[in-house]
Copies of this chain bind each other. A is one copy, B any other.
Amino acid sequence: MGNNYRSIFKWGDPSHEEKLNKDLINYLKEKFKLSPSDLNEKYSPGIEEIKLKKISKLPPSIIKSFKRIVGDDNVIIDDYDRAYHSYGKFYLDLLKLRLGKIDSPPDAVIYPREENDIIKILKICNNKDIPITPFGGHSSVTRGVETPKGGISLDLTRYFNKIITINEINSTVTVQSGIYGPDLENYLNNYGDGYTCGHFPQSFEFSTVGGWVATRSAGQLSSGYGKIEDIVLSLKMISPIGIIESIDYPASALGPDIDQMIIGSEGCFGIITEVTLKIRRYLPKNRKLLSFIFKDYSNAITTLRKVSQGQFGSPYLFRLSDPEETDVSFRFKGKDNTLTDKILQILGYKPLKRCLMFASVEGDYDYTRLVSWKIKHIAKKAGGQYIGAYPTKQWLLQRYSSSYLRDPLMDLGIMTDTLETSCTWENILPLWFGVRNYIKERPNTICMTHISHCYENGANLYFIFLSPIKKEDPINDFSNFHAGIIDTIKKNHGSLSHHHGIGKLLAPWMSMEIGVKGIGLLQSIKDYIDPKGVMNPGKTLGLKG
């Protein structure tokens, strides 16, 4: 695979083409009435060589200054690197790359080697009004790394990828922000008696600690380990006005929490360079995996809630597929119309009513025993049938795989996107119902939903939709549909985001979410810390610029 668009938008190894399984293809073929040409000719596969229409706007003298700071090899202005840093992995990003549409690439990609490099680069950018956008694992789904005003894409993954220190007494690890999830986790698992950070977002393989922190991300086990804002103990950020650095106190009362202003700042305030994270003992031998099937969604949700409010500890993975997701999952895995399926139906677990629930518990041996026993007990009382560890084990084995499916689905001419939102328990069902109804109003659309990330006071709803691409106007078709979903989420009391963040994508709804005064508050921080507005401009987070 050469320097083509496909190598940029593909999830994972660009040389490996993911294949959809036969059951899924058959299901989609029937559902979407795919034609032989849909099945055999990839939709806009993006195999053309990249050629940007825009050359770098940066004057040679500036490029030279940057090269003097980081070395010639770490300032790149070629088309491929600039194209690579133009987008994240939002559906529209992939679509535009398939269509060869790169309207606003960065003018240069810079790989800083150390903090001093960043300080010097920021100084130049600030003096010369050059936009600068931090870039991590390339997995933003919120248009967080786009450079609508060009400028510098500052990629931290090449050099800022080191473990700085691990402290077993304090139970912390301090890392540079550009380290990828697997590198951090492998290091921790193999250090001493073994540790874990416990943060496994869907993008785990291709996201960095800095990205996790900048976007307020959540891992699949966040019901137990917490979201990233619960895991960060302290951090360091280089901003246009200087360095902001916090201390790793376990808790404090030092006025408004500055860490919590930087977590979620999405590159608008500065470059997060170092983070100290909580770590926990890595104890896979104690892990309990549980799976359940419920006759109906409502009782299953009640189980999620009662477990989350049970005051006996918490599950780590806790996930419930709605009836349609459960149905697709049965078909996709070739489980429909099997003996198991028939027995389940006889027992009252009917298709398009029944729901699958996955749970895991981690930690101390006796604790995982207790919590898993409690979950079983509560599920049973709500009519949930325990179906062993196996389905959850299978789910965990393929936990990152769904991201790989987008490319072959789009090859088939199918658009797909995921939206996530959180709300209190009493709003979960109406929110699910409202958003699902909106999505299903579109003809020929699959809508799968799961609840993941459960808390005492509510949960996260995660919507996945699949629908044929309207090939005559794919960008507007998607954009309008997507905006309608967001509107529906807001109308039904869901948050604009639970863990993807806001970026440039959801910025237009921010004033509805945090109020005009709330935006003003964020803007006041921005104006102080980035007075010339060079950090990630383009209305990220709803800010000016």
Within 8 Å CB of A216, what residues of B?
252-255
Q: Which residues of B contact A457 (CB under 8 A)?
A: 170-172, 233, 248, 250, 278
A218 in the interface (beta carbon within 8 A): yes
Query: Does A510 lie at the interface of the complex (its beta carbon under 8 Å from any beta carbon of B)?
Result: yes
Whether A170 and B517, one on each chain, are in contact in the complex, defined by CB atoms closer than 8 angstroms, is no
Within A239-260, which residues are at the interface with B (CB < 8 Å)? 239, 241-258, 260
Task: Decide if B460 touches A251 in the complex (CB within 8 Å).
Answer: yes
Verify if A481 is at the interface (C-beta below 8 Å from B): no
Partner of A249, one of B215, B247, B422, B510: B422
Q: What residues on B are CB-neighbors of A529 within 8 Å?
A: 517, 521, 524
Chain B residues whose CB sits within 8 angstroms of the CB of A281 once the complex forms: 309, 311
Contact of A498 among B247, B252, B255, B497 (CB under 8 A): B252
- Within 330-374 of A, Cβ neighbours of B (below 8 Å) are at 362-364, 366-367, 370, 374
Verify if A528 is at the interface (C-beta below 8 Å from B). Answer: yes
The one of B227, B253, B265, B496 in contact with A217, judged by C-beta atoms closer than 8 angstroms, is B253
Q: Which residues of B contact A459 (CB under 8 A)?
A: 250
Which of A38-46, A66-74, A499-507 binds B? A499-507
Interface size class of A (residues with CB under 8 A): 35 or more
| CB-based contact A524/B528 at 8 Å | yes
**Closest B residue, CB atoms, query A227:** B251
Contact among B170, B246, B498, B518 with A514 in the assembled complex (CB-CB below 8 Å): B246
A495 touches B252 (CB 8 A): yes
Check A455 for interface membership: any CB of B closer than 8 A: yes
A261-B256, A456-B278 as given contacts; A311 in contact with B364, CB under 8 Å: yes
A435-485 with Cβ < 8 A to chain B: 453, 455-460
Q: Which of B311, B367, B424 contacts A311 (CB 8 A)?
A: B367
| Apart from the given pairs A216-B252, A280-B309, 4 other A-B contacts in the complex at a CB distance below 8 Å | A172-B424, A218-B251, A250-B424, A257-B257
